[in-house]
Amino acid sequence: MPHEINTTMDRNKLKGHTALWVANIIWGLNAPICKQVLQSASNPEGISPFALSACRMAGAALLFWVFSLFMPRERVTKRDLGLLLLASIFGIQFNQLLYLWGLSLTSPIDASIIATLVPIVTMILAALFLREPITWLKAGGVAVGCTGAVILVVMSQTASAVASNLWGNALCIISTISFSFYLTAFRSVIVRYSAFTVMKWMFLFAALVALVIYHKPLLATDFASLPPKTIFGALFVVVGATFVTYLCVPIGQQHLRPTLVAMYNYVQPVVAVLFSVALGLDRFGFVKAAAAMLVFTGVWMVTQSKSRREMEQLKVEN
């Protein structure tokens, strides 16, 4: 019996790791693709970031509700619907909308570096909400991974005409704290239901808010006149970088600790750099290779750290 339990736990962990690898590889690809989609001085035929945000929320909500028709139906209590509404506010609305707003005000390098704070904040909040221990191995893994991610971000940024902005940075920081809060405070309700049930409700709430706030730039967008490259890029953002990734994240949350889920954020700059190199937009030298190794070493260290349950079990056995 213990062997069967351990085998099941190993399979669940593998499922969680696989889901997070898929999500963060897609998010890593999303960074350079988004540059080709978003409207800017160099890309006047692109889509407004606010219109794209509304498309992401509404498109993902539609996909989750359609696919949920083919899944086993789950009854969600009124109390849990309220929790999913709050989870949507912190995990999607504040996270996505505030980050987008902050990115429009501050420099991309500031926003990227601030995003590396997610595992650090998550580790602290997990200790507060879930009583997960902050071990030397876990803290060291977060520090090592963060160092590698920051090096990659700094080494891969090109000159930007946008300067640092206090309010923009503040919005990005709030976005980071919001997502970390979502990973820890709402884990209990996330693990109670299937990924489709959780996300169909969270994105429904997010879509309603986004359409109210961003309906004007959405209606002002002439989608028929957009070039095919922009259309296909926007479809990737909605289907791949929103629907698929947010389907994978709750699977990771159900089987892995919040800090480990957050640590996979550090995979994104590695994927973004490799994709940019493949497109001939960047170079991959020794420093970036060493930084990538730091990222993977940090993730491995956190996977090897013990959870509260494992430490309590060791005390009982001893």
Residue 111, amino acid: A
Q: How many other C-beta atoms can be found within 10 angstroms of the C-beta atom of residue 168?
A: 21
Residue 67 is predicted with a pLDDT of 94
| 155: nearest Cα among 302, 49, 295 | 295
Which residues, 6+ apart, have CB-to-CB distance to 194 below 8 Å?
A: 71, 72, 74
Query: Measured between alpha carbons, how far is 290 from 295 in angstroms, rounded to an integer?
Result: 9
* Backbone CA torsion sign across 201, 76, 249, 297: positive
Structure tokens given for 198: 């959780």
Residue 277 is predicted with a pLDDT of 76
Cα 187 to chain centroid, rounded = 15
Q: How many other C-beta atoms can be found within 10 angstroms of the C-beta atom of residue 225?
A: 8
Q: What is the pTM of this model?
A: 0.83
HEC string for 28-87: HHHHHHHHHHECCCCCCCCECHHHHHHHHHHHHHHHHHHHHCCCCCCCCCHHHHHHHHHH
Alpha-carbon distance values, 238 to 27, 63, 194, 223, 299 (Å): 11, 10, 21, 15, 28
Per-residue pLDDT of the chain (318 residues; tens, 9 = 90+): 555 556 666 788 899 999 999 999 998 888 778 777 877 666 777 888 888 889 999 999 999 999 999 998 999 999 999 999 999 999 998 887 787 777 767 766 677 778 888 888 899 888 888 888 888 889 998 999 889 888 887 776 655 555 667 888 888 889 889 999 999 999 889 999 999 999 999 999 999 999 998 899 999 999 889 999 899 999 999 999 999 999 999 999 998 888 889 999 888 888 877 877 777 766 778 888 888 899 889 888 988 887 666 665 655 555
Query: Measured between alpha carbons, how far is 297 from 118 in angstroms, rounded to an integer?
Result: 17
